[in-house]
Amino acid sequence: MHHQRHLFQLPDDVHYLNGAYMSPLMKSVEEAGIEGMQRKRNPSGIAPADFFEDSVTVRSCFAQIVKCRPEQIAIIPSVSYGLASAMRNLPVDIGQTAIVVGDEFPSDYYAVEAWCKDNDKRIQIVKAPEVTQQRGERWNQAILESINVDTAVLVLSSIHWTDGTIFDLRAIGQRCREVNARFIVDGTQSVGVMPIDVGAYNIDVLICAGYKWLLGPYSIGVAYYGGFFNEGSPIEEAWVNRSNARDFSALTLYTNEYTPGAGRYNAGEYGNFILVPMLAASLKQILEWDIVNINAYCRSLTQPLAAWLVGNGYTVEDDQARSPHIIGVGMPAALDMDKVVRQLQERKIYVSRRGKAIRVSAHVYNSQKDTDALVDALSALRKSL
Ligand SMILES: Cc1ncc(COP(=O)(O)O)c(C=O)c1O
């Protein structure tokens, strides 16, 4: 795969290495949004089926990406919303402990904290080991060792959002299954770039925001709910989620039946005429590129970058535990972070600052020109010490 910058509209002199914060929009996705907005100029052209059809595309594309049936996918406005549906339907009569990792993304942490408080459960935080060698491997080991018959649920980001550390979802899911704990994964920072298989990894719920590695707009996401949740109770009673919703002439023939699978967990008004076609367009493009190729392309940019960083006084996670698209870069102790940020800004290099580290993230809109610009900047900073 070659870079795909021509499909985006990033200015030539911008080195945007910050997809983990928010992806740029493809031209095709922007056009789908504009078209969606324009449709409402004259609503006479909007038919009842239009409330549903693009969502069917989103569900079916996302189902292909995570390897499940489209009925098990719901459309949600945010990760916190998707998590709230999952947490309210957890059994409370199995384990007494809920596990999260250290410095987990706040939407995940707060959901677990609230569930524990409401149900008189204990939260257990598995922190990153304070080592530089084999840090990812040891962290995964500590997570596996923390799961036991007292575990009710483990809520985990598929990779760590601050530095891209890979969690071994297959092994963790297997362990959860052995002790009958539910396994909830926030896939926001990896789904779309790294392969995932909800069945093979025993994932009960997988939740993804759409605006990062799914290349969609803000305020729409997608979630997989496994069969365990099919009879659960949704947060709200949206008419669009009832089995008779497509027949607009008979909506007051009230029914207790929801649309099958995870249909009950769609947010009210989920068929957003602007956001849904945009996400449908980006997911179609991701499938066309193929995640295997996206993954390999990202790694072809980050691998040489990581090698340079290690050889020049910066620290990064070991190869096997580092995701292909996100690198946490530890700065030499003597480097002033404000100076780092200023230098990068001056050169129009966009990354995220995370304490004494920067988070660099790459996708198909990046090319070696961007990673070379970062190397030049970090090289100059080193020399200035
Ligand atoms: C791992 C992870 N989950 C979720 C989100 C977004 O959460 P929400 O949709 O609740 O705002 C982010 C945003 O940075 C993230 O990094």
Is 124 exposed, middle or buried, given 0-12, 13-18 or 19+ CB atoms closer than 10 A? middle
Quickly state the pLDDT bin for 272 (edges 50, 70, 90): very high
Between the CA of 78 and the centroid of ligand 1 the distance, in Å, is 8
SS3 content of the chain, % helix, strand, coil (to 5): 40, 15, 40
What pLDDT, on the 0 to 100 scale, is given for residue 356? 86
8-state DSSP, 84? H
Between the CA of 175 and the centroid of ligand 1 the distance, in Å, is 25
First to last CA, the chain: 38
Between the CA of 235 and the centroid of ligand 1 the distance, in Å, is 19
Residue 355 has pLDDT above 90, yes or no: no
- Rounded distance, CA 43 to CA 137, Å? 55
What pLDDT, on the 0 to 100 scale, is given for residue 133? 84
Find out whether the beta carbon of 167 lies less than 6 Å from any atom of ligand 1: no
Find out whether the beta carbon of 189 lies less than 6 Å from any atom of ligand 1: yes
Share of the chain above pLDDT 70, in %: 100
Find out whether the beta carbon of 161 lies less than 6 Å from any atom of ligand 1: yes
Instruction: Give the nearest ligand 1 atom to 107 CA.
Output: 10
Residue 132 has pLDDT above 90, yes or no: no
Residue 385 has pLDDT above 90, yes or no: no
Quickly state the pLDDT bin for 354 (edges 50, 70, 90): confident
Between the CA of 79 and the centroid of ligand 1 the distance, in Å, is 6
Find out whether the beta carbon of 186 lies less than 6 Å from any atom of ligand 1: yes
Residue 54 has pLDDT above 90, yes or no: yes
Residue nearest (by alpha carbon) to ligand 1 atom 13:
21
Find out whether the beta carbon of 18 lies less than 6 Å from any atom of ligand 1: no
Mean pLDDT of the chain: 97
Summarize pLDDT for 225-256 with one digit per residue, the tens: 999 999 999 999 999 999 999 999 999 999 99
Our mutation pick for probing the ligand 1 site, out of 101, 105, 156, counting the most ligand atoms within 8 A of Cβ, is: 105
Sign of CA dihedral 64, 67, 72, 77: negative
Beta-sheet pairing, 15-16 with 349-350 = parallel
- Rounded distance, CA 216 to CA 266, Å? 17
- Rounded distance, CA 138 to CA 131, Å? 9
Which residue type is seen at 170?
R
- Give φ, ψ of 235 to 5 degrees: -70, -35
Say how far residue 96 (Cα) sits from the centre of its chain.
28
Residue 326 has pLDDT above 90, yes or no: yes
Share of the chain above pLDDT 90, in %: 96
